[in-house]
Amino acid sequence: MEIVRFNEFCKILNTDYNRLNSNLYRFNFALKSFNNSPYECGCGKTHYLNEHHTEMRWHGKPLPIVGNIEEMIIQDCKTDCSFINYVKNKGFYFYKYKTIYSAKLPKSYIDSNFGNTDLTSKDEIKKKYKDIAKFYNNYKFYEYYKKGSKKLIISSQIQKQFIGIINLDKDLENLSNNLSNEPYRVLLVGIITFKFMSVKQMNRVHKDMTKIYDIGKVLKFEKKLMIALENLLDGNLGDFENF
Ligand SMILES: [Zn+2]
């Protein structure tokens, strides 16, 4: 770990005070999965990553398949620590963060809002997570073709579920907008971490959605549904089946 001045810290990491202090990364459910991993801090103490007392100021892109967050800028808000740390994951199966740079925050920064997480919003987000999980958990797997024929059946139940898919995309989009534009994948990892749904169920649902998407491409399903499916099955985030 290298202790540097705050200005230097910002320069090396190509950031600035305003960006670090914006609300964008204030709260991140991914922290829950970090499971109290320790990290060294410039203040001389070892802190532990935890959703309740770690302030996330920035994080790198999550890894495509597993959703691991490999680098972040964090601060401990349990102790009276005034250092900010840039940490990188060195673990493979488990998170094991190594502090690369640490900097003391200038006093004027500490006196402002730095280090203040709004706890009520956490409960609100949790509630939204539960609602999203509910859709996945109640998802029905239909036969889209009549047995032994190529005739498509789109019953009223199936139509209802299609509307549900469009709404799911909307819900995830809203949540993402509130959480620093987190990719859906990261939000879903959060939902799984809280055990609101299982990885298996998520994969089953996404597999079925892929099926719908393929049929829809041939038969030209409603654009709204196709866009929702594209967002939910975002190919840029890797193959969901390998999750
Ligand atoms: Zn510290």
DSSP track, 25-43? GS--GGGGGGTT-EEE-TT
- Cα 41 to ligand 1 centre (Å): 5
Residues 92 and 191 in one domain: no
Most confident range, picked from 16-20, 58-62, 69-73, 160-164:
160-164
- Cα 83 to ligand 1 centre (Å): 5
Residues 197 and 95 in one domain: no
The answer to whether the CB of 97 falls within 8 A of the CB of 37 is: yes
Residues 213 and 149 in one domain: yes
**Is the predicted pLDDT of residue 121 greater than 70, yes or no?**
no
Residues 92 and 139 in one domain: no
Least confident of 30-39, 85-94, 165-174, 219-228: 30-39
| pLDDT tens per residue, range 211-240 | 999 999 998 899 999 999 999 998 655 444
- Cα 5 to ligand 1 centre (Å): 15
Mean pLDDT of all residues in 149-176 = 91
Residue 242 belongs to some domain of the structure: no
Residue 232 belongs to some domain of the structure: yes
Q: Which of 109, 130, 145 is the last residue of a domain?
A: 109
- Cα 150 to ligand 1 centre (Å): 64
For the chain, the C-alpha Rg in angstroms (whole number) is 21
- Cα 230 to ligand 1 centre (Å): 42
Of 152 and 118, the structure prediction assigns the larger pLDDT to 152
Mean of all residue pLDDT scores within the chain: 83
Of 32 and 135, the structure prediction assigns the larger pLDDT to 135
What one-character DSSP code corresponds to residue 115? T
Single-letter amino acid code for the residue at 166: I
Q: HEC states along the chain?
A: CEEECHHHHHHHCCCCHHHHCCHHHCCCHHHHHHCCCEEECCCCCEEECCCCCEEEEEECCECCCCCCECEEEEEECCCCCCEEEEEEECCCCCCCEEEEEEEECCHHHHHCCCCCCCHHHHHHHHHHHHHHHHHHHCCCCCCCECCCCCCECCCHHHHHHHHHHHHHHHHHHHHHHHCCCCCHHHHHHHHHHCCCCCHHHHHHHHHHHHHHHHHHHHHCCCHHHHHHHHHHCCHHHCCHHHC
In sign, the C-alpha dihedral spanning 18, 22, 26, 30 is: negative
Residues 53 and 11 in one domain: yes
**Is the predicted pLDDT of residue 112 greater than 60, yes or no?**
no
- Cα 234 to ligand 1 centre (Å): 38
Of 45 and 126, the structure prediction assigns the larger pLDDT to 45
Mean pLDDT of all residues in 25-38 = 67
The confidence score (pLDDT) of residue 180 equals: 65
Residues 56 and 103 in one domain: yes
Q: Which of 109, 134, 154 is the last residue of a domain?
A: 109
Q: Give me the residues near ligand 1 (ion), CB cutoff below 5 Å.
A: 41, 43, 45, 81, 83
Residues 45 and 100 in one domain: yes
**Is the predicted pLDDT of residue 119 greater than 50, yes or no?**
no
Q: Edge-to-edge strand order for the sheet containing 54-59?
A: 2-4, 97-104, 83-89, 71-76, 54-59
Residues 176 and 197 in one domain: yes
Mean pLDDT of all residues in 150-161 = 89
When divided into structural domains, the chain yields a total of 2
- Cα 78 to ligand 1 centre (Å): 9
Q: Which range of residues forms the domain containing residue 196?
A: 121-237
- Cα 70 to ligand 1 centre (Å): 20
- Cα 35 to ligand 1 centre (Å): 18
Residues 78 and 148 in one domain: no
Question: In which band, very low, low, confident or very high, does the pLDDT at 153 lie, cut at 50, 70 and 90?
Answer: confident
- Cα 2 to ligand 1 centre (Å): 14
What pTM, to 2 d.p., does this model score?
Answer: 0.57
- Cα 85 to ligand 1 centre (Å): 8
Residues 104 and 9 in one domain: yes
Residues 132 and 95 in one domain: no
- Cα 104 to ligand 1 centre (Å): 9
- Cα 101 to ligand 1 centre (Å): 12
Residue located via tokens 């990290």: 39
The confidence score (pLDDT) of residue 86 equals: 97
Question: In which band, very low, low, confident or very high, does the pLDDT at 65 lie, cut at 50, 70 and 90?
Answer: low
- Cα 77 to ligand 1 centre (Å): 9
Residues 126 and 49 in one domain: no
| pLDDT tens per residue, range 168-209 | 999 998 888 777 667 788 788 778 878 899 989 999 999 999
